[in-house]
Structure 1
Amino acid sequence: MATPPQPAAAAAPPTRGRRDRRGELRRAELLEAAIHLIGEHGLDAVTHRAVAAAAGVPAASTSYYFRSKDELIDEALRTLATREIVRLRERRTALGAAGAVDLEATTAALSAWIEEQITPEGRVAMLAQYQLQLEAARRPEAREILAAWKEGTDDLAETAMRSLGARDVTTAGILLVCAIDGLRLRLMASGHAPLAGAELRAVVRALLAGLVLA
């Protein structure tokens, strides 16, 4: 069976500001500060001054590297997408290398991934991802960033369902992505007690078992 093509991250636009290592480090600091602000307080919290303060750098730094709030938000989305695509590729490679993976192994891997994302640190990043994805959906120029992210997510889901012997790999993969998205939102945003450990694994196991027969 041929290996599916790996998704490519959307090409980054030309950057503003210093192009040396120091400049790249400062840009990275500002983007991490923006991501944290978005995850903690939402997109309205992002201003040049607030991002610079969160990064602990001079107030003029953000406008030196980013022309506008929209550019800063797009670059924050690109940073998150690139990071997540790398992680998706690693997980996809691990599943593909394992060949035929049993239900318990896939259940454990997906459950551990979900639990990583609902820790206090992971929760901030996940909320930032959802905020940025919604913003990108409103602005066509940002959608190419989401396209590469979607390809990586779909590829991982299809690899998982193929390894389990799903009847319809494409359909099962789409349903798996949608179900995990819904589960993560439930765990982060609802008043329900968070699922964890054996309880979370039982839910994921039932989901996978059902999708194999879809």
Structure 2
Amino acid sequence: MGHVQALRLWQSSELPEDRSFRESIHYSGRKTARAKSEYRRLQILEATLRIAARDGLRGIKHRAVAREAKVPLASTTYYFRDINELISDSFMLFAEKAREELSHFYDTINLVLDSIPDETRRRGGEGRSELATRLTAITTAYLAEQFSERREQVLAEQVFLMESLRDERLADLARSYRSAWIAGLEQILQRLDSPAPARDASLLVNVVLGLGYDTMLNQRVADAKTLEQSVHRIICMILGL
């Protein structure tokens, strides 16, 4: 599948309700005929992501990427038409990796919801406070890992999303990336009887992005206690507590 076709997969502003988050984003840039060639192509994309996190998009140059990936300079122009395609494809690869991590997180949340009574899932039902505590623990652990162990990934995300405000080519990808993130969260909020699951999902995504930005800005490991308190407050508001 070519780059243009891959880009079209990202450009739907609304995802059908019956499409799961797991299906909503899938990296499908230009494919290569041999496994060795595909491996080299992925080497280049991974190197591009590292440079984006370290130096921003301004640091993504053919020579810099080739040096980071430890491949011949000609490889970067062989597999990618230009720098714009290299940046777009690296953003798609980043989103696919993020999708996999979020899918595991959402699966964990859904397992918790599967295990509780229907009454607890209903707004105003018994056991919502205990549910908030369980969801807080899971969410805090996930975010703490993202902000600490996966700092480079969070930095790359911030770089791509900020640059998308200036570059319309990246803006289409950023909007679809965000829509997919929201879609999976909206499904969970529907199960939790949110009166406005789409709105609440969007608000939660904004809060998480803000938390990530704050952590990166202050160049510190996320304070677990403060993070837990923030997450618990947000979840209580979402659950109507």
Q: TM-score, normalised by structure 1?
A: 0.84
Show structure 1 runs of 5+ residues with no match: none
Which whole-Å CA distance do the structure 1 matches of 2:232 and 2:29 have between them? 42
Q: Distance in 2 between matches of 1:194 and 1:61?
A: 37
Indicate the residue corresponding to 2:160 in structure 1.
132
Equivalent residue number for residue 170 of structure 1? 198
Pick aligned residue for 1:41 from 52, 55, 67: 55
Aligned length: 208
SS at match of 1:92: helix
- What stretches of structure 2 of length at least 5 have no aligned partner? 1-16, 122-130
Q: 2:25·2:180 contact (CA, 8 Å) conserved in 1?
A: no
- 1:52 correspondence with 2:66: yes
Residue 204 (structure 1) aligns with: 231
**Partner of residue 69, structure 1:** 83
Report the Cα distance in structure 1 between the residues aligned to 2:171 and 2:28, rounded to whole angstroms: 13
Once superposed, which parts of structure 1, at least 4 consecutive aligned residues long, lie more than 6 Å away? none
Match of 1:20 in 2: 34
- SS of corresponding position for 1:94: helix
**How far does residue 165 in structure 1 lie from its aligned partner after superposition?**
4.1
The 3 A distance-change label for structure 1 pair 202 and 164 is farther
Question: Which letter maps to 1:133?
Answer: L
Structure 1 residue 114 corresponds to structure 2 residue 143 = yes
- Give yes or no for contact 1:31–1:76 (8 Å, CA) kept in 2: yes
1:124 alignment partner AA? E
User: Residues of 2 paired with 1:107 and 1:165: CA distance?
Assistant: 17
- Deviates further, 162-171 or 100-109: 162-171
Q: 1:142 to 1:116 in 2, by over 3 A?
A: same
Shift of 1:4: 4.3
Corresponding residue number in structure 2 for 1:179: 207
Would you say 1:5 and 2:19 are equivalent positions? yes
Higher mean C-alpha deviation, range 152-161 or range 52-61: 152-161
TM-score w.r.t. structure 2 length? 0.76
